[in-house]
């Protein structure tokens, strides 16, 4: 259908707005190139419309506007954004793009086109294609910045998509795109992606927190004005050019804090942060010194919480973020977070590595970006086959928070949060890791499995007799360490397999049996091994003895001991299925009989009837039921979106479900008796375990019990809250009601 005149006018207005926002493309030749790209994209996409019914061309214009205005990239990136869907969705080719706009734009459009089928609305994320996307990113970061802008606009217009697509796309975004934006320093985009994803995944919680923020807006504004007044007066006296503002934390971060700390909205003391942004004065010393001068000014007015000082001025985050963060006691007895930044630091905080290019030479953090891209290459080149393992490695090694540690000579190094001494050893060199036997952390001998904390000083102790062990794989976290250990173990396994093969051949010769496939298949079926290498490895390690083989070949029965023996193998390669038979739009009703047969309650989150849940269909056609808030559910939604099933409970009383309740309060001699008394009286529930600990006149503990549904659980929690002295009661991994 042709566009109407109002639609044509709207398209032209949006394009004119793009050109106004393109402050880095004001030269005549740049404007002409952007005009040409728009004309090309307009004709290529005409008269296609989006799901919402609006002309499709509005999407690339919006993506280009985000690139120009919110990420502040230049002409090449704007042109690429305008053309990013042309090769994928029209008859034009990369060669056509190169002919009109040059090889660089064509290469970037091709990099974005390679992602088609990975992060669009019609398919689920696939690990191999994601590897390709990261590979293109490691060649030119602008490609992923444009992809982030594309995802941001798709999220802003997600309302027009069906609900099952909304959940899939929101899951992918929360699992991968928001952390990716964070890792590149794009905090504003990261926050918006998280909030929109949260809105579609947990709409009721989103709306409840939004309402509470709106209701508290006036009180917050009054508090900020009162808090800022003496700071503004002192900064004015010092003749600084500055802004002081208060910004509430994102809805998603507030919800996360409620979940992680088990508190209510009203109990979160740092709902917002006061931000002081200033222009450094000439002849007043370096930026960092002036940041500390303002910090001193603030703490002269308000008493600081010393353990909450975060100095990212002297030691910037690995994505380049710089600022001083402090928590101080405000005028009404509330703790308040204060962030101090220069205008340069603030621009980097908003636009990440894209802003670093503007300041190249003055404050060059591109070395950190290069290190990060090198980690990406390690992940891409790893032989890991499993989709979920690949995604886990990605989250852990690329998107996880970084901590700072020191070498014995005082050199600063960064490693992922959760890294061990052995991870650090492999970061130095593969041979250092292979020969590591212990570590000296802060001048104390520690095991190589010890987790590192920010500020630790570490020395690795090695021995020529040291060598990697299989159990090391259980505690290392970085891809470099995992790859090195696996490589060593595989080489050792290959030697053992070869020795076992020699044993096998010699054994059959002594039994006058000809080596052939039929003999191997017979042994395979009787022993349950899946490959010849498994059989040879068992012989080489003497898990299987020659006597066992002889006995098997002389008898067709499997020995009793063999039924309980399996050779340890690598994780199964999970391939994503695209041929699922059920109707994705239909909701599957969960009955108690289903749970006894083809449904499985996930152990990670232990949902019960009444919880909001999703289903994941595995390769054996078993549907695993997860709470929609479960991190594993988010990961599965991201990795296997096409296997996610809409489910709801239909019966609640035929079987009971295990639940763990956390309790805290003021200690009293009969508290355990009171808690169990309420549980038995209210529900006649089966209490499996109760554990209470007391310290400093406070108690905390947990109760493990069986319960029928969420309604009964909520009723029980309300009754427990009526016990005098019990201050907190909530289900494990949930915030108090």
- Cite the active site residues: 88-89
Neighbouring C-alpha atoms within 13 Å toward the C-beta of 194: 19
Q: How far apart are the first and last CA of the chain?
A: 52
Secondary structure of residue 342 in the 3-state scheme: strand
Q: In whole angstroms, how far apart are CA 222 and each of 226, 230, 339, 375, 694?
A: 6, 14, 19, 46, 41
Total H helices, total E strands in the chain = 30, 19
Continuous H helices in 90-140: 94-101, 103-113, 127-139
**And the tokens for 554?**
């002389």
**And the tokens for 516?**
């052939």
Secondary structure of residue 243 in the 3-state scheme: strand
Burial of 158 (0-12, 13-18, 19+ CB in 10 A): buried
Secondary structure of residue 453 in the 3-state scheme: coil
**And the tokens for 398?**
């690329």
DSSP code per residue over 133-160: HHHHHHH-HHHHHHHHHHHHHHHHTGGG
Residue 626: strand pairing partners = 614
C-alpha triplet 52, 57, 59: angle, nearest 5°: 60
Compute how many other C-beta atoms are within 10 angstroms of the C-beta atom of residue 221.
11
Parallel, antiparallel or unpaired: strands 402-406 and 412-416: antiparallel
Burial of 636 (0-12, 13-18, 19+ CB in 10 A): buried
Which residue in 528, 644, 639 sits closest to 586, CA to CA?
644
Distance of CA 55 to the CA centre of its chain: 34
The angle, 0 to 180 degrees and rounded to 10, between the axes of the packed helices 366-381 and 479-510 is 20
Identify whether the C-beta of residue 166 lies closer than 8 Å to the C-beta of residue 646.
no
Burial of 560 (0-12, 13-18, 19+ CB in 10 A): exposed
Which residue in 592, 587, 627 sits closest to 607, CA to CA?
627
Neighbouring C-alpha atoms within 13 Å toward the C-beta of 102: 10
Polymer length in residues for the chain: 737
Rg (CA), the chain: 30
Measured CA to CA, the distance from residue 583 to residue 617 in angstroms comes to 13
């Amino acid at each position: 259908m042709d566009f109407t005149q109002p639609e044509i006018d709207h398209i032209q207005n949006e394009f004119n707005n793009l050109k106004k926002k393109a402050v880095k493309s004001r030269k005549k030749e740049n404007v002409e190139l952007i005009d040409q790209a728009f004309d090309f994209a307009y004709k290529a996409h005409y008269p296609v419309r989006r799901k919402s019914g609006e002309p499709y061309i509005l999407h690339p214009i919006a993506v280009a506007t985000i690139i120009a205005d919110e990420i502040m990239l230049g002409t090449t990136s704007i042109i690429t954004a305008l053309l990013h869907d042309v090769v994928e969705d029209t008859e034009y080719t990369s060669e056509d793009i190169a002919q009109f706009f040059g090889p660089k734009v064509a290469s970037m459009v091709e990099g974005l086109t390679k992602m088609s089928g990975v992060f669009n609305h019609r398919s689920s994320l696939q690990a191999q294609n994601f590897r390709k996307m990261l590979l293109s990113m490691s060649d030119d970061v602008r490609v992923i910045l444009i992809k982030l802008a594309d995802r941001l606009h798709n999220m802003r217009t997600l309302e027009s998509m069906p609900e099952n697509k909304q959940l899939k796309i929101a899951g992918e975004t929360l699992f991968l795109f928001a952390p990716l934006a964070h890792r590149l320093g794009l905090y504003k985009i990261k926050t918006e992606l998280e909030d929109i994803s949260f809105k579609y995944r947990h709409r009721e919680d989103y709306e409840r927190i939004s309402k509470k923020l709106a209701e508290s807006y006036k009180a917050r504004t009054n508090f900020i004005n009162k808090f800022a007044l003496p700071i503004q007066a002192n900064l004015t006296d010092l003749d600084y050019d500055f802004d002081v503002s208060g910004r509430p934390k994102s809805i998603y971060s507030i919800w996360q804090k409620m979940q992680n700390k088990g508190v209510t909205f009203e109990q979160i003391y740092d709902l917002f942060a006061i931000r002081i942004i200033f222009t450094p004065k000439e002849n007043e010393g370096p930026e960092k010194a002036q940041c500390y001068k303002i910090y001193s000014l603030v703490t002269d007015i308000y008493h600081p919480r010393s353990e909450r000082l975060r100095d990212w001025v002297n030691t910037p985050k690995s994505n380049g973020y710089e600022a001083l963060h402090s928590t101080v006691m405000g005028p009404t007895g509330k703790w308040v977070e204060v962030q101090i930044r220069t205008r340069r630091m603030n621009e980097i905080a908003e636009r990440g590595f894209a802003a670093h290019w503007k300041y190249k030479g003055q404050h060059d953090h591109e070395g950190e970006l290069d290190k990060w891209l090198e980690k990406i290459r390690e992940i891409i080149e790893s032989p890991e086959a499993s989709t979920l393992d690949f995604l886990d490695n990605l989250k852990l090694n690329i998107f996880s928070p970084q901590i700072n540690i020191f070498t014995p000579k005082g050199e600063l190094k960064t490693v992922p949060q959760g890294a061990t001494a052995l991870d650090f050893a492999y970061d130095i060199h593969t041979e250092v890791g292979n020969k590591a036997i212990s570590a000296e952390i802060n001048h104390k001998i520690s095991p190589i499995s010890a987790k590192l904390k920010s500020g630790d000083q570490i020395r690795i102790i090695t021995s020529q007799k040291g060598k990697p062990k299989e159990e090391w794989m259980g505690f290392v976290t970085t891809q470099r360490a995992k790859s090195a250990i696996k490589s060593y173990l595989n080489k050792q396994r290959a030697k053992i397999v070869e020795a076992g093969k020699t044993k096998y051949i010699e054994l059959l010769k002594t039994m006058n049996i000809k080596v052939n496939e039929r003999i191997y298949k017979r042994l395979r079926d009787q022993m349950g091994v899946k490959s010849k290498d498994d059989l040879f490895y068992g012989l080489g390690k003497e898990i299987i003895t020659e006597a066992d083989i002889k006995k098997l070949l002389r008898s067709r029965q499997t020995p009793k001991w063999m039924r309980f023996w399996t050779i340890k193998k690598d994780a199964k390669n999970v391939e994503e299925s695209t041929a699922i038979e059920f109707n994705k739009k239909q909701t599957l009703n969960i009955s108690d009989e289903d749970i006894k047969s083809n449904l499985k309650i996930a152990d990670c989150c232990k949902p019960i009837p009444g919880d909001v849940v999703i289903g994941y269909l595995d390769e054996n056609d078993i549907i695993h039921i997860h709470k929609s808030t479960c991190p594993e559910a988010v990961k599965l939604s991201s990795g296997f979106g096409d296997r996610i099933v809409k489910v709801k409970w239909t019966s609640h009383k035929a079987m009971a479900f295990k639940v763990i309740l956390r309790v805290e309060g003021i200690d009293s001699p009969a508290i355990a008796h009171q808690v169990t008394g309420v549980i038995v009286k209210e529900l006649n529930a089966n209490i499996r375990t109760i554990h209470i600990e007391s310290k400093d006149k406070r108690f905390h503990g947990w109760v493990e019990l069986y319960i029928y549904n969420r309604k009964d659980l909520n009723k029980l929690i309300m009754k427990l809250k009526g016990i005098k002295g019990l201050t907190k009661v909530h289900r494990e991994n949930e915030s108090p009601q």
